[in-house]
Amino acid sequence: MVHMSNDAGGSGHVNPPPPYAPPGYPPPGYQQAYPPPGYQQGYPPPGYQQGYPPPGYQQGYPPPGYQQGYPPPGYPPQQGYSPAGVLKPGVIPLRPLGLSDIFNGAVNYIRRNPKATLGLTAIVVVAAQLISLVLQILGPLIATGDIDPTLSGEAPTTGDVVALSGSALAGSITTALASVVLSGMLTVIVGRAVFGADITIGEAWQRVKSRLLALLGFTALEALAILVLIGIVVVAIIAAEAVGGGVAAFLVGAPLVIAAVALIVYVATSLLFTPALIVLERLGVVDAAKRSFALVKKDFWRVLGIWILAALVAAVIAGAVGVPFSFGGQLLASGSGSAGGAVAGLVLIAVGAAVGQILTAPFSAGVVVLLYTDRRIRSEAFDLVLHTGAAAGPSVAADSTDHLWLTRHP
């Protein structure tokens, strides 16, 4: 039998095929961190056409993880968006607001439209101060023949006290009425500023004039309720003193005064949004009061805290501006001993009060309206409604978003 050999003259054994790499591992001979053969660093891989997206990319669609309506990570915020990527067409981002959002918005709407905020406030405040000043001068002059009866050195009579008190009360009522008108018009301006729209003083007046009666009615009812409550406390203290003396009056009066103050703070906070509801949602006094209670009820302490903080800020600013005028006016009125000095003192005091109110009234009104907006966002998802107004863009009429404030939620 003839033994056969292979053609190459080998031993007759065939070499086994090279082993295959397990799944997930590179094949034998692969050098990690080196590009494949023919690849030149700094150039695209073979078959890649410059100016075209890589394979698997669908043109017209955003990359994975991209959320429509928000800029991609690392991209600067687009116009109309806050730094966090939240839609911000006006002075606030359309999401639940923090303290800084409310305060910044209350300042930014003034800077955005100073003519309709500071200008309007100056007109109303100066007119009110002039009327109040005239009443303070003419009232005592007509009743007693002297501008300030206390300057004569004699003890003031009952008529003098009545004349001075009446003129002061008339001036206070005039200032209160002016504040009601001013707060209503500023509420309209803030409502437009939320959407980034401006408004003139005439347009603001047209929007608010039909709501003035309701605003004045609410203010009168609120003041009357406070006066009645104070009267009840005073009568109770007088009756306790008549029955049991000073100790009984203190034991009865101290708890009553504390309870009355707590009740006034609670009711005033719960009714804080009533003027904004009367103007923006165009509700009646009773319906607006009920709705204000409902909005404040679930977040009472936060609303109270922000309101008090804003009032403190406004008081500090008004005091810093008005104290020098008030101090100088008191010196002129008491130090000169003449009617001319008394008039100059009253004028100086009125100027200080007017300047302080011009600087602080728009801020205070803005805080209340934006706090009301925040409560609607948190309790009614009102930001979704505001988004519909922002989606229309700046090309639509400025009053096209006014109806959005009328939205009702059960």
Contact by Cβ (8 Å): 346, 133: yes
Contact by Cβ (8 Å): 198, 192: yes
Residue 74 predicted with pLDDT over 50: no
Contact by Cβ (8 Å): 196, 89: yes
- Out of 117-126, 181-190, 389-398, pick the least confident: 389-398
- Count of C-beta atoms within a 10 Å radius of residue 225: 15
Contact by Cβ (8 Å): 269, 295: no
| Of residues 185 and 71, more confidently modeled | 185
Residues 6+ apart with CB under 8 A from 205: 185
256 φ/ψ angles, rounded to the nearest 5 degrees: -65, -40
* pLDDT reported for residue 393: 59
Residue 55 predicted with pLDDT over 90: no
> What is the SS3 assignment for 81?
strand
Burial 48-84 (b: 16+ CB within 10 A, else e): eeeeeeeeeeeeeeeeeeeeeeeeeeeeeeeeebeee
Contact by Cβ (8 Å): 350, 113: no
Distance CA 335, CA 353 (A): 21
Distance CA 351, CA 129 (A): 8
Overall average pLDDT of the 47-68 stretch: 50
- Count of C-beta atoms within a 10 Å radius of residue 19: 8
Tokens of 231: 């009267």
The pLDDT mean for the chain works out to 79
Prediction pTM value: 0.74
Residue 409 predicted with pLDDT over 90: no
> What is the SS3 assignment for 209?
helix
Each residue's pLDDT tens digit, 153-180? 555 666 666 666 777 777 788 888 888 9
* pLDDT reported for residue 131: 86
CA 340 to chain centre: 43
* pLDDT reported for residue 153: 53
Each residue's pLDDT tens digit, 112-160? 999 999 999 999 999 988 888 887 776 666 555 555 555 555 556 666 6
> What is the SS3 assignment for 336?
coil
Residue 407 predicted with pLDDT over 80: no
Share of the chain above pLDDT 90, in %: 45
Residue 269 predicted with pLDDT over 80: yes
Distance CA 32, CA 159 (A): 105
* pLDDT reported for residue 232: 95
For the chain, domain boundaries? 99-386
Question: CB burial class (10 A; 0-12, 13-18, 19+) of residue 91?
Answer: buried
Share of the chain above pLDDT 70, in %: 68
Tracing tokens 């948190």 back to the chain, one arrives at 378
390: pLDDT confidence band, cut at 50, 70 and 90? confident
Contact by Cβ (8 Å): 376, 281: no
* pLDDT reported for residue 33: 52
